[in-house]
Structure 1
Amino acid sequence: MFLRIIRILFLLEKQRMEGVARAIALFNFHAVEAGDLTFSKGDVIVVTRKSDSTDDWWTGKVNGKEGIFPANFVELV
């Protein structure tokens, strides 16, 4: 049982690190609020949390930083 829990935790962490999708930045975005993710046009962002709408803010990682960003600034690849 203990090993099964460890295995599940490992898989969840691996999934979090890999993200749910990849996206390419269409525009530069500079953080305005704490927790925003700054990126440059052409950066590949690891999307870690997203909705089905590009009108939302998604969560992702780029250049060793993690934060939220406007989904309409990126294109999923």
Structure 2
Amino acid sequence: MTAPDAAPPVLTVVRGAPSDDEVAALVAALAARPAPAPAAPRPRGPRPGGWSDPARALRAPLRAAPGGWVGSARPS
């Protein structure tokens, strides 16, 4: 039985019986693998002005009122 504060094994052989040399070659190959590059931060440029705002193309919501259907055909 292992001690309660022992760390779990890093590698586990699921099938087969590798030799000590094969396990050492695998550990060396994994240790030589380069670390992933950190993600580059997104550049923060100036915010687009009102002319290029996509919300500018949306119209105001229609109001439910008598004759409201007439106003739906009129440009805002």
Q: TM-score, normalised by structure 1?
A: 0.23
Higher Rg? 2
Report which of the two has the higher share of strand.
1
Report which of the two has the higher share of helix.
2
Q: TM-score, normalised by structure 2?
A: 0.23
